[in-house]
Amino acid sequence: MDLLLPYDALVLLSFGGPESAEEVMPFLRRVTAGRGIPDDRLEAVAHHYHLMGGRSPINDQNRALLDALHAELRRRGIAVPLLWGNRNSEPFLVDTLREAHEHGMRRVLVLTTSAYASYSSCRQYREDIAEAVATLADEGRTIVADKIRQYATHPSFARTNARLVTDAVRAAGQPDDALLRVAFVTHSIPVGMDDTSGPGDGEGNLYWHQHDELSHVILDEAGITLDRNLTGSLVFCSRSGPPSQPWLEPDVNDYLEGIAKDGVTDVVVAPIGFISDHMEVRYDLDVEAAETAERLGLRMTRVPTVGVDPEFVSGLVDLTEERAAEAREEPVDHPAWPGEAMPSTCRPGCCPNLRVAKSAACGTD
């Protein structure tokens, strides 16, 4: 039996990014549509892309992930087609699903390139799935899309990150624990978005909590492996929005300023909030944070993202098999470490859209 039945295809859904200088501003306008952000502010962000030749690294990384997923699926004897759609750049999700329908596919499984619970990292993807499915329905095309659960709490994600941080601490070459810190970096989000992250009947702040819990687990695992007493903090990057709106803090650069004043000489920067080295990593960390560290006299070691690490990719395929078994109504184990497994079908009120009510797929509301 094909382990991904009843699905006709597996769809990788990503944020997307420009592939040329001419695509940068249209891409940024799509990303910020409906927020009233003027072009002059977008131009400041566009500068980051132009420093990289006008090309975001994210699409090439998606291509690499597709290749890695394809290899792992074939290794397991799973012959399901593997498709790719983006939210904000070609190939757009609606076009991918339309083509899938034209080839006779009627039920697909979606794997997103975002691991955590929040509006921007989960529900917004679900809104885009719902919009694409509705657009096709208006064209007379019926297609069903399910998704795997968010995987920030899947053991493969934690184990891979812990191993990468352990290797980076070892490579940093600073034997004195008092002189070394580990900065666990993720994308900042508005405080209100974090307050409402997680199910509607939950306590909120699940986005922050998942990162915080993972960072502590990684410190413990690396410390045990290296026989060290490591210290670290959760910090944030890529803040946007008006200054009057509170976002999660501290910013990674402010954190570096603080530890330098405390006499720390070495910092290991671990981007656990991202699965690949896209713009927030390549610019915010490899350019801005690196410049800050150099100015402060800090030796900075940047940890790789999980990317196409075989253990991480194998875990993603485990999650596709898990979701397919759920769809077949078979008994399913939901391994989780640290924390609890998130459901593949989100509960009512989960990670709400605080600006406008929109339909979202793969949920019960």
pLDDT at 242: 82
Asked which of 122-126, 168-172, 226-230, 241-245 is least confident by mean pLDDT, the reply is: 241-245
How many structural domains is the chain composed of?
A: 2
Taking residues 112-126, report their average pLDDT: 97
332 inside domain: no
Do 118 and 207 lie in one domain? The reply is no
Please tell me whether 49 is known to bind a ligand.
Answer: no
Do 94 and 169 lie in one domain? The reply is no
Kindly report the average pLDDT of the chain as a whole number.
96
Which pTM value belongs to this model?
0.97
Q: What is the CATH number of the domain that holds 88?
A: 3.40.50.1400
Do 194 and 281 lie in one domain? The reply is yes
Taking residues 259-264, report their average pLDDT: 98
pLDDT in tens, 195-227: 999 999 999 999 999 999 999 999 999 999 999
236 inside domain: yes
Do 180 and 135 lie in one domain? The reply is no
pLDDT in tens, 161-193: 999 999 999 999 999 999 999 999 999 999 999
Q: Answer whether residue 95 shows pLDDT above 90.
A: yes
pLDDT at 122: 97
More confidently predicted of 37 and 257? 257
Q: Answer whether residue 280 shows pLDDT above 90.
A: no
310-327 and 155-172 are packed helices; what angle lies between their axes, rounded to 10 degrees? 170
Do 234 and 124 lie in one domain? The reply is no
Do 193 and 240 lie in one domain? The reply is yes
Whole domain around residue 230: which residue ranges?
A: 155-302
Q: How confident is the model at residue 256 (pLDDT cuts 50, 70, 90)?
A: very high
69 inside domain: yes
Please tell me whether 276 is known to bind a ligand.
Answer: no
Do 177 and 279 lie in one domain? The reply is yes
Give the 3-state DSSP-derived string for the chain, with helices as H, strands as E and coil as C. CCCCCCCCEEEEEECCCCCCHHHHHHHHHHHCCCCCCCHHHHHHHHHHHHHCCCCCCHHHHHHHHHHHHHHHHHHCCCCCCEEEEECCCCCEHHHHHHHHHHCCCCEEEEEECCCCCCHHHHHHHHHHHHHHHHHHHHCCCCCEEEECCCCCCCHHHHHHHHHHHHHHHHHHCCCCHHHEEEEEEEECCEHHHHHCCCCCCCCCCHHHHHHHHHHHHHHHHHHHHHCCCCCEEEEEECCCCCCCCCECCCEHHHHHHHHHHCCCCEEEEECCCCCCCCHHHHCHHHHHHHHHHHHHCCEEEECCCCCCCHHHHHHHHHHHHHHHHHHCCCCCCCCCCCCCCCCCCECCCCCCCCCCCCCCCCECC
Q: Show the tokens assigned to 178.
A: 């008092």
Do 218 and 280 lie in one domain? The reply is yes
pLDDT at 362: 97
Please tell me whether 283 is known to bind a ligand.
Answer: no
3 inside domain: no
Q: How confident is the model at residue 237 (pLDDT cuts 50, 70, 90)?
A: very high
Do 322 and 237 lie in one domain? The reply is no
Do 68 and 192 lie in one domain? The reply is no
Taking residues 47-53, report their average pLDDT: 89
Q: How confident is the model at residue 241 (pLDDT cuts 50, 70, 90)?
A: confident
pLDDT at 240: 83
In whole angstroms, how large is the CA radius of gyration of the chain? 20
CA 288, CA 230: separation in Å to the nearest integer?
25
Please tell me whether 187 is known to bind a ligand.
Answer: yes
361 inside domain: no
Q: How confident is the model at residue 1 (pLDDT cuts 50, 70, 90)?
A: low
Q: Answer whether residue 143 shows pLDDT above 80.
A: yes
76 inside domain: yes
Do 184 and 259 lie in one domain? The reply is yes
pLDDT at 365: 85
176 inside domain: yes
Do 40 and 95 lie in one domain? The reply is yes
267 inside domain: yes
